[in-house]
Amino acid sequence: MVITMYNIKTMNKIAAVGLERLPAGQYSIGDNVENEDGILVRSAKLHDYDFPASLWGIARAGAGVNNIPIDKCSEAGIVVFNTPGANANAVKELVICAMLMASRDIAGGLEWVKAQAGTDGVEVADVVEKGKAAFVGPELYRKTLGVVGLGAIGALVANIALSLGMEVYGYDPYLSVDAALRLDRHIKVVKELDALYANSDYITLHLPYMESTKNTVSAAAIARMKDGVRIINLARGGLVNDDDMLAALESGKAACYVTDFPTNRLVAAPHVVALPHLGASTPESEDNCAAMAADELRDYLENGNIKNSVNFPNVIMERSGAQRLCVIHRNVPAVIASITTQLSNAGVNVENMTNKSKGEYAYTMVDVGSPVEGRVIDDIRALPGMIRIRVI
């Protein structure tokens, strides 16, 4: 049996547990690999990267894909994967920490204690009882948390908040059946953000960043929130308008802002707790993301299956037949009929086939009973609406 070799370029340090899922005798892996078939990436920015003609897939070891030019990849027939849910527990735990830091001014208290210890003639144990009043804050128990976005992370956050004795409101205009089933029945899922804003003492954001979610938290949104609201953003910096957030903190409309996306202005402002992008920074999360990304890329390269793609539909089909044709094309009429006509005219029997679309793009897999000649593949490639075709 002939073993196909695949070149995988790593654009960041990828956890070993992920790389080990790509067999050494079948995969060449490294940051110096050229003419790569696949890319494994974390935070490296690929917008200016010159993708080689050999590239079929990019797997992001994480959920956000802002560092990848999705439109460019789609037009080139490059499938982009992410790893939804792989870092969910890590982010959930940090949200709990963020809510406590937003309430109790733990960060301010730590700095004050250090300052006292550095003062000549001061014994810290003697002054803490008098000074601690400056850092008093409310408990989470019996307060209300609003969770904006009820995907893998948001659902975990909502459920754990109930265990802390909080009332929980959730909002997600694209709530899937699977996501809804993960939610505790006591969570109040609302159809309008205003209902969440009006009732929440704490608001945590768990949305992807895109044009439609940019500045989700703006002056207009904050005006509809409760006075003294505490806002947590461990998702993406652009979801919150920094100018509006700082103005709300200065006026007292918002009591605290915890962000995982610091800027010079935010760090210098009072009532801001700025974290160094710690959301998914746990060894468990990095291992989970790397393993999922490697599995997705391998299954696509070896079998043509697509799972967790952000730009093409999820399509999975059991292997059968002598060859598999993987066709990326535009979501337009008559493409499938044109493909099967070309195969039929060449005397090739279709054993199994599946097709799905996502927006303006579609993906078709065809298992055939006998090898397809190169000229037939070229004829299919020349059909209207075709973007890319691969034979496995």
Residue 127 lies in a domain: no
Strands 386-391 and 323-330: antiparallel
pTM, two decimal places: 0.85
Identify the pLDDT of residue 104. 94
Residue 37 lies in a domain: yes
* 5: DSSP letter: P
Identify the pLDDT of residue 2. 59
Residues 227 and 340 grouped into a single domain: no
Q: Where are the alpha helices (DSSP H) in the chain?
A: 16-19, 70-76, 88-104, 106-117, 124-131, 152-163, 177-182, 193-199, 219-223, 242-251, 264-268, 283-303, 335-345, 374-381
Residue 181 lies in a domain: yes
Domains of the chain: total: 3
Residues 264 and 296 grouped into a single domain: no
Residue 66 lies in a domain: yes
Identify the pLDDT of residue 212. 93
Q: Collapse the DSSP code of 235 into the 3-class scheme (helix H, G, I; strand E, B; otherwise coil) and give the result.
A: coil
Averaged pLDDT, groups of 10, the chain, 392 residues long: 85 96 95 97 96 98 92 98 95 97 94 88 86 93 98 95 98 89 95 97 94 96 98 96 98 98 96 95 95 98 97 96 97 96 96 97 98 96 96 96
Residues 151 and 263 grouped into a single domain: yes
* 270: DSSP letter: T
* Domain around 255: 88-99+137-274
Residues 317 and 346 grouped into a single domain: yes
Residues 160 and 260 grouped into a single domain: yes
Residues 92 and 222 grouped into a single domain: yes
Residues 245 and 298 grouped into a single domain: no
Residue 125 lies in a domain: no
Residues 258 and 342 grouped into a single domain: no
Residues 269 and 167 grouped into a single domain: yes
Single-letter code of the amino acid located at 387: I
